[in-house]
Amino acid sequence: MYRTHNCGELRQSDVNSEVTLSGWVQKIRDLGAMTFIDLRDRYGITQLFFNKEDNSELHSQTEKLGREFVIQVKGKVTERSSKNPDMPTGDIEITVSELNVLSKSDVPPFTIEDETDGGEEIRMKYRYLDLRRAKVQKGIILRNRMAQEIRQYLIKNDFLEIETPFLIKSTPEGARDFVVPSRMAEGKFYALPQSPQVFKQLLMIGGYDKYFQLTKCFRDEDFRSDRQPEFTQIDCEMSFVERDDILNLFEGLAKHMFKEIKNIDFTEPFVRIAYDDAMEMYGSDRPDLRFDMKISDLTEVVKGNNFKVFDDAEFVGAICAEGLAGYSRKQTDKLIKWVQRPQIGAKGLVFAKYNEDGTFKSSVDKFYSQEDLKKWADATNAKPGDLILLMSGSKRKTLLALGELRLEMGNRLELRDDNKFAPLWIVDFPLFEKDEETGQMHAVHHPFTSPKKDQFHLIETNPENIKAEAYDLVVNGNEIGGGSIRIHDTELQEKMFKILGFTEEEAKAQFGFLMNAFKYGAPPHGGIAFGFDRWVALFNGSESIRDVIAFPKNNAGRDIMIDAPSEIDAEQLKDLSLAIVRE
C-alpha cells in the first residue's frame, strides 16, 4: 500500500497513529542533527521529521533526496513543538521510521511554488510541473467543481447530455474551420466543429427537447488576446420555448453557480438591456456594470460655438470621471495619447475640469464660456471635482471609443472590484451587420438565428433594421454566454441564406440536410452556449483562460510542450494524397 492518508488530512486527533504517506518533496531543511521535509500532494503538505540521534542511518538517506523526488514514508504522527497555524496540517508532523524513494527528479527548471521564478514560456514547456503548483491546481479543481454543478443543475431540469461528432462539415460561427484530411475519401476533408450548432438543432428535430453537452469547439482565428483555438462550451438547446423560457432557466443556472461556487445570492432578476441601449449608455454590447459612468449624448449641447470639430460631428458623447478634476496637464496629455492608440483609434479627446470652487477649465476654453461648460456638467451629472471627457465623430465609432475610455477610467478609479459580480442580459441584437467595405450582410449571431416574431416581414424590405431573438449573458464586461431562438422554417431559413450571400445551390450544398430536416416537423426551439473556460477564469479571478485549462496552447496557438502543430512525414502525406507547396 503506497499510502494510508494523503498529505493534507492528518490532524492533532491523529497523533500516535502509524501512517504511510506518498508524495513529492517540496522542501528540505537540513539543520544538521535534524532534517525536516515538506511532503506535497494535491491535498496539501505534511511535514516529515528525521532525527539523526534516533536513527542516523535513516537520517543519512535524506541527504540523497532533492526537490520533486517522489517518496514514500512510514512513521508516527507526532505533535509539533512549534505549530504552524497557517497550515491545515500545521499541528503535527510525521516522525519517520522508513523512507523509500519511488522516483528521482532532476532539478526542476522552475520552483514549484505559488510565486515561481519560471516565466510563462518555460512553465508551458513543462506544463506537467506547472500543474503541480497549488495556484494552478486551484483553477483546475474549480473547473471540475463547476462542471459538476452545471451538470447537476441541468440534469435536475431534465436535460440529456448527448455527444455530437467532431469530424463534420463546416459550421458557420464566423471563424475559419480547422480541417482534417480524409484518407479514405481522397482529396476530401472533414471540418472540426466551431460549435455543435446544427447538431443540437437536429437533436430538437429528433425529439430530444432538452439537450446539453460540455464540449470542445474549434475555431481557426487569428491571434487575439486570450483566445484558444480549441475551447470548451456548455452547449444547450431546448424545444417548445420562447426567449424568456430560456433566459429564465439559464439565469437559474447562473444563480445556482454564483450560490454554490461563490456563495453569492442573487435574489433579484438580472438586468436586461437592449443592445441599442447598451451601446448608447456604455459603448459596448458587454458592459461592465460594476460601475455606472454612463455615456451622455452632448451632440446638441456643444453645437453652435464655432468649434468646428463638434459642429461637424455626427455625434458628441461624454463621460464623467468622478473626482479627477485634479488631473495635471501631463495626465490629460497622456490620456489623449491613450485614446489615439490604434486599439481605440480616436482622433482626440476634449476635457473639462469642474474645479472644486465651481469654475471650469477646459481644453476648448477659446470656444466655450463658463456657462456653456456648466451645461456640459448638467448633461453629464458632473459635480465640482469631476473631470468631463468628450469625444466626437461618427456615432458608432465614438460610442465604442467612449466605451473603452469608460473601462480605462473605471480601472484608474478602481471601480472594477474582482470580488464584485454584475451579471446582465443583453437582448434584441441586430440580426445582420453590414460590411462597410463590401456592403455584404453578415449574421451578427449566426445564420440560424430567428428575427423577432413581429419583424419577419422586414426580411425582404428592411433587413438591416431587424432585431434578432438573440441574447448574451454578460458578467463584469465578459460575454459568458450567448444564444438565440432559431428559425425552424425552411422558407425563412432560405431567405436568410439569400441575404447572407449564399446562392440557392450553395445553401443547399452546405445546409441542405438542415433545411430538409425542417420539412419533417421541426419544433420551435432555441438555445444558448456558455464559454466554460471564461466562466471558470472569472470565478477563479484569473486574467487568462489559460490558467484554467490543463494543457492550453500559447498565444500563437502552439503547444510548446508536445510541439504542435508540427510536420508530418512523407508517408503520412502520401496516404492522405497531400503535398506541401511552399511559397
Residue with smaller CB distance to ligand ASP, 448 or 539: 448
Query: In the bound complex, what is the minimum distance in angstroms from residue 483's beta carbon to ligand ASP?
Result: 4
Q: State the minimum distance, in angstroms, from the CB of residue 532 to ligand ASP.
A: 12
Tell me which amino acid residue 453 is: K
Determine which residue in the list 46, 47, 164, 197 makes contact with ligand ASP, applying CB under 6 A. 197
CB 577 within 8 A of CB 186: yes
Q: Is residue 450 near ligand ASP by the rule CB under 6 A?
A: no
**Apex CA 286: angle with CA 192 and CA 529, to 5°?**
35
Q: Which stretch binds ligand ASP (CB under 6 A): 79-87, 309-317, 417-425, 478-486?
A: 478-486
Q: Give the nearer residue to ligand ASP in terms of CB position, either 5 or 210.
A: 210
Cβ closest to ligand ASP, residue 483 vs residue 552: 483
d(CA 9, CA 45): 9
3-state helix, strand, coil in the chain (%, to 5): 30, 25, 45
| Dihedral sign computed on CA atoms, order 180, 212, 240, 499 | negative
Which residues fall within 8 angstroms of residue 304, CB to CB, at 6 or more apart?
Answer: 311
SS3 80: coil
If the CB atoms of residues 283 and 483 are measured against ligand ASP, the closer one turns out to be 483
Residue 35 or 197: the one with the smaller Cβ distance to ligand ASP is 197
> Site for ligand ASP (CB under 6 A): which residue of 444, 529, 536, 538?
529
Pick the stretch among 86-94, 107-115, 391-399, 477-485 that binds ligand ASP (CB under 6 A). 477-485
Please choose, out of 132-140, 274-282, 417-425, 523-531, the segment that lies near ligand ASP by the rule CB under 6 A: 523-531
Q: Is 297 left (phi over 0), alpha (psi -120 to 50) or beta?
A: beta
The CA-CA-CA angle for residues 377, 379, 385, to 5°, reads 25
Of 207-215, 312-320, 411-419, 522-530, which segment contacts ligand ASP by CB under 6 A?
522-530
Cα(249)–Cα(471) distance, integer angstroms: 13
The reply on whether position 195 binds ligand ASP by CB under 6 A is yes
Of 6-14, 57-65, 482-490, 545-553, the window that binds ligand ASP (rule: CB under 6 A) is 482-490
Q: In what order do the strands lie in the sheet with 271-274?
A: 160-161, 210-218, 230-239, 525-531, 478-485, 470-475, 423-427, 271-274
For cell 491523529, what's the residue? Answer: 14
- Only one of the segments 283-291, 344-352, 508-516, 527-535 lies at the binding site for ligand ASP (rule: CB under 6 A); that segment is 527-535
Question: By C-beta, is 403 or 482 nearer to ligand ASP?
Answer: 482
In the complex, least distance from residue 526 CB atom to ligand ASP, rounded to whole angstroms:
8
By CB under 6 A, is residue 484 in contact with ligand ASP?
yes
**Among 41, 40, 66, 36, which residue's Cα sits nearest to residue 52?**
36
Stretch that binds ligand ASP, among 67-75, 134-142, 481-489, 502-510 (CB under 6 A): 481-489
Q: Select from 34-42, 54-62, 480-488, 574-582 the region that touches ligand ASP (CB under 6 A).
A: 480-488
Provide the minimum distance between the beta carbon of 472 and ligand ASP in the complex, in angstroms, as a whole number: 9
When the beta carbons of 244 and 378 are compared against ligand ASP, the nearer one is: 244
Residue 249 within binding range of ligand ASP, rule CB under 6 A: no
Q: How many CA atoms within 13 Å lie on the side-chain side of 295?
A: 31
Among 193, 403, 477, 482, binds ligand ASP (CB under 6 A): 482
Cβ count within 10 A of residue 212: 27
Q: Which is nearer to ligand ASP, 38 or 472 (CB)?
A: 472
Size of interface with ligand ASP, in residues (CB under 6 A): 9
The rounded distance, in Å, linking the Cα atoms of 467 and 275 is: 9
CB-nearer residue toward ligand ASP: 75 or 482: 482
Handedness of CA 220, 221, 227, 233 (dihedral sign): negative
Q: Which of 113, 173, 230, 479 binds ligand ASP (CB under 6 A)?
A: 173
For residue 245, give the C-alpha cell: 423560457
- Can you tell me which of 21, 289, 389, 528 binds ligand ASP, judged by CB under 6 A? 528
> Cβ 184 to ligand ASP, closest distance in Å?
29
Q: Which stretch in 221-229, 455-463, 525-533, 535-543 sits in contact with ligand ASP by CB under 6 A?
A: 525-533
Backbone φ and ψ for 73, nearest 5 degrees, come out as: -130, 150
- Closest approach of Cβ 182 to ligand ASP, in Å? 25
DSSP state of 519: G
Supply the DSSP symbol for 269: P
Binding mask 557-576 for ligand ASP (x = CB under 6 A): --------------------
Smallest distance from ligand ASP to CB 272, Å:
18
Q: Which CB, 139 or 527, lies closer to ligand ASP?
A: 527
Q: What is the rounded distance in angstroms from the CA atom of residue 211 to the CA atom of residue 455?
A: 28
Q: In the complex with ligand ASP, which residue's Cβ is closer, 24 or 532? A: 532
Residue numbers 301-340 binding ligand ASP by CB under 6 A: none
Identity of the residue, 44 or 531, whose beta carbon is nearer to ligand ASP in the bound complex = 531
Among 527, 534, 545, 547, binds ligand ASP (CB under 6 A): 527
Q: Which are the contacts of 458, defined by CB distance < 8 A and separation ≥ 6?
A: 451, 465, 466
Distances (CA, A) of 204 to 57, 318, 358, 521: 70, 47, 63, 10
C-alpha cell at 146: 463547476
The residue within the footprint of ligand ASP, chosen from 193, 317, 423, 483 (CB under 6 A), is 483
CA atoms within 13 A on the CB side of 337: 6
**Residue 238 touches ligand ASP, criterion: CB under 6 A:** no
Compute the distance between CA of residue 200 and CA of residue 236 in angstroms, rounded to an integer. 8
Answer for the pair 469, 453: CB distance below 8 angstroms, yes or no: yes
Residues near ligand ASP (CB under 6 A): 173, 195, 197, 482-484, 527-529
